[in-house]
């Protein structure tokens, strides 16, 4: 496995519409493993292939919800590999939340996202899958899917900030 370099704003490659994945070969499996390794090293909770210079419709996500109470055990992280993902359903309800992005270092912003959604995608081995998500996971998925169409959260943000250290607890870096 290998750590990949993150492409950062304003690199024009972040603005391309990524191409569908067609081959589910060994190379793709290595790329996916490298994306997980790179995302964990940063650390981030999601990564889209264009962020490491691969114009492919592929995202990886690994995110653990906060425990419900302070004493509750930390929930296990949910892990997704979404290949050629498409949103097939999204809630009318929108929610505002703070986002950051590994490709836009040093900033966070307030973004409106659908509260819940259903995504149709392929697995890393090319099998169809359907993912239902709400809350933070739904937000992460929408943020990552945007990367596949050349959209950054700063395009959608109603406000953008340079976080002061105490804000770091709310920072979600994708």
| Residues at the site binding Ni ion, with contacts judged by CB under 5 A | 101, 174
Nearer to Ni ion, 34 or 174 (CB): 174
Query: Considering Cα of 109, then 102, then 52, then 131, what sign does the dihedral take?
Result: negative
Nearest-approach distance from CB 92 to Ni ion, in angstroms: 25
Sole residue written with tokens 């090293």:
41
Minimal CB distance residue for Ni ion: 101
Nearer to Ni ion, 21 or 140 (CB): 140
Nearer to Ni ion, 116 or 154 (CB): 154
Nearest-approach distance from CB 110 to Ni ion, in angstroms: 15
Beta carbons within 10 angstroms of residue 100's beta carbon: 24
Nearest-approach distance from CB 116 to Ni ion, in angstroms: 20
Q: In angstroms, what CA-CA distances link 123 with 24, 54, 85, 127, 131? A: 9, 18, 10, 5, 11
Residues labelled as active-site residues = 144
Nearest-approach distance from CB 103 to Ni ion, in angstroms: 5
Half-sphere exposure of 163 (CA within 13 A, CB side): 20
Nearer to Ni ion, 9 or 159 (CB): 9
- Residue 92 exposed, middle or buried by CB count within 10 Å (0-12, 13-18, 19+): exposed
DSSP 131-149: EEEEHHHHHHHHHHHHHHT
């Amino acid at each position: 496995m290998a750590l990949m370099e993150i492409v950062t704003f304003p690199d024009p490659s972040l603005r391309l519409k990524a191409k569908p994945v067609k081959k589910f070969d060994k190379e793709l499996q290595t790329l996916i493993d490298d994306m997980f390794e790179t995302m964990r090293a940063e650390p981030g909770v999601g990564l889209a292939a264009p962020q490491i210079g691969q114009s492919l419709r592929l995202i990886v996500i690994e995110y653990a919800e906060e425990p419900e109470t302070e004493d509750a055990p930390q929930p296990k992280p949910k892990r997704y590999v979404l290949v050629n993902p498409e949103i097939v359903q999204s809630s009318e309800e929108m929610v505002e939340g703070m986002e950051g992005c590994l490709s836009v270092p040093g900033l966070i912003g307030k973004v409106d996202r659908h509260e819940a959604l259903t995504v149709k995608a392929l697995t890393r081995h090319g099998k169809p899958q359907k993912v239902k998500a709400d809350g933070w996971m739904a937000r992460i998925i929408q943020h990552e899917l945007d990367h596949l169409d050349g959209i950054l959260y700063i395009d959608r943000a109603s406000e953008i900030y340079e976080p002061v250290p105490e804000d770091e607890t709310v920072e979600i870096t994708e």
